[in-house]
Chains A and B, each alone.
Chain A
């Protein structure tokens, strides 16, 4: 009967989650990770190297400075490579230990944790917050909410300012902000990232993980029955039920779960781990800490909720070394080694050869053929270099132009070069010529580039 079917909204107001403070081994681990990651984030732009900001992504200048390394747009392959490495690392760690990333290292988790801490010191823990939200408007409520949002806004502004500081020298940015000389776009980005921080860590929180995050959706593909997961020991816990504190263990046929709902109350995504493995679980292990605390109080063994694997849970053996892990590991470490090698042998010199396209060739008064090229010599090093240019082909070549020149650090110089070849020496209408640019002060800096040399298809008899 269609009339009896309840109308269920496709969109409902997201329920607010009041995560309870939790302490324990994994809470300590998460806090350490937060200090390490946020500390690095806020301090990194202040590091200096060789008189300039050590980490600076200079977008207008198209140069990424990473300590002693300056990457140019031509080095973009390294970024692609780095992203592939990051993806592979994520796959590897997911296959071995599940959602480690989500629980301990993801910026969403880390900033949310920081924001939750500010929430707790201003509004109190779970119960106090729930009470406060139910209260009618009062001076106390306004005071606490204002304190929380003020803390959040200051922290968010500091985050946005630091983020922009990775792209604009942070010392200049600071003086510009203080003196009021920062341009409109500078302010826009600072405020944009502040707002994004405030919105993500203050308001959206678990909704990002549940409804927006692509990794949360596809991480299941890396899972197998040997992957580390957080699970509730159903065999031991069920049937769950409340009991008197001094009741004997196993009394009334009850399992170890006293149904205190601590695991639900501490969960930052608002799920019940006892329902089994689910997509909303970010594997933060807060429920483990909460449950262990209760188990200790009850004088039950710890680990009713614990890190385990599906195989272990079903009484089988867990295999750490399995084809999936080995393949990910081999791929990851091979690519990483290649990446480090490629980066270490990278030549900070690049030459683009542009053949003049205005005309194919020029005939001289003595009947030889000339082609003109523009060499764009990019000194990608952090010091100036003096270079020597040579050109060669299978036949004798006369090179006309500056054969020695200096390029300042991080600059591009245009060097026009004219090559002259006797066309009777050349068999083909188009032949290859190669340019060799070598640093005089550092002979290991060598680049060879080739281009075409074009002569008339028919030069007639000599």
Chain B
């Protein structure tokens, strides 16, 4: 707020308060020309009226509102740019409320932290908390049912790109992941890309051209196997996906696989360590493992 605007607001506020005061003082005494019965000596369209004064405490209420507004402006921000002597701010109040909420849930999470991830998997209260954490933080990308979408892995199958041990999942949640499949459009020519695609389809037992697949194997062994392994089963250390299980992170159609080979893929799982903290990630890990528990 610039000083000019601030001064303008101050002037308006002061003028309004002073104006209210003036109006009260000016109008509290009314010149009424009334007769003995209290009837005011005027008649408009035949309508006459009595003078019926209000109880005096009404007047005091008006004065109180004026004192209240001055008190408010001293204590709280509102008079131009002045912050008010209480130093109250919206962000400060929010931080305070967050602090209170955190203190309230601290014992709950301390209890969860004291248990192992495996034990939390049998703790209905922990799983209920986990499902809400999932709904608030994960469902936007992975879907409300955690079954994922192209580019966002299904979390309910037992297929883990980086490994499904509690510690690995925690690392994924805390630090995030950068999944990178390089583009081979420049390395492999079009026929070679086609051949590799059919070989990859054959690995999962999908419909493919056997001749093309046989041609593709040599390219696969020299180019793709570096990360995905000679058997195509992937490498969890690198986050290279298993190509033999008919689970397709970016879609399993011919067009989608061709696109992946030619242009590569970049997948990002954002880091949640600072956002959620250790205890919530602990609970969330247990919840995620519970989703795929019946798949193993």
Residues of A in contact with B (beta carbons under 8 Å apart):
2, 5-14, 207, 211, 354, 356, 358-359, 362-367, 372-374, 400-401, 414, 416-418
Contacts and interface: CB of A to CB of B under 8 A. Distances in A.
A418 B140 CA distance: 14
A163 B145 CA distance: 45
Nearest to B34: A8
| Most chain B beta-carbon neighbours within 10 Å: one of A8, A13, A356, A400 | A8
Contacts of B27: 10
12 contacts: A2-B31, A5-B32, A8-B29, A10-B30, A10-B53, A211-B55, A358-B139, A358-B140, A372-B143, A414-B144, A416-B143, A418-B143
B145 A416 contact: yes
A81 B33 CA distance: 49
Contacts of A358: 139-141, 143, 149
| Most chain B beta-carbon neighbours within 10 Å: one of A11, A366, A367, A400 | A11
Contact of B58 (A211, A359, A400): A211
B253 interface: yes
A183 to B, nearest CB: 14
B204 to A, nearest CB: 9
Given A7-B29, A414-B131, A416-B146, A14 B55 contact: yes
B147 A418 contact: yes
Interface stretch (B9-17, B170-178, B244-252, B281-289): B244-252
Contacts of A354: 144
A23 to B, nearest CB: 30
B30 A8 contact: yes
Q: Which 7 A-B pairs have the closest CB atoms?
A: A365-B252, A416-B145, A14-B55, A8-B32, A416-B144, A358-B140, A11-B59
A417 B146 CA distance: 10
A4 to B, nearest CB: 9
A201 to B, nearest CB: 16
B259 to A, nearest CB: 12
A354 B135 CA distance: 12
A211 B144 contact: no
A9 B29 contact: yes
B53 A11 contact: yes
A211 B54 contact: yes
Contact of A12 (B56, B139, B143, B146): B56
A202 to B, nearest CB: 14
Nearest to B55: A14
Contacts of B131: 414
Contacts of A6: 31-34
A207 to B, nearest CB: 6
Contacts of B135: 374, 414
Contacts of B139: 356, 358, 374
A350 B135 CA distance: 20
A175 B33 CA distance: 61
Interface in B134-185: 135, 139-141, 143-150
Given A365-B252, A372-B143, A14 B149 contact: no
Interface string B28-43: 1111111000000000
B51 interface: yes
Interface in B241-273: 246, 248, 251-253, 256
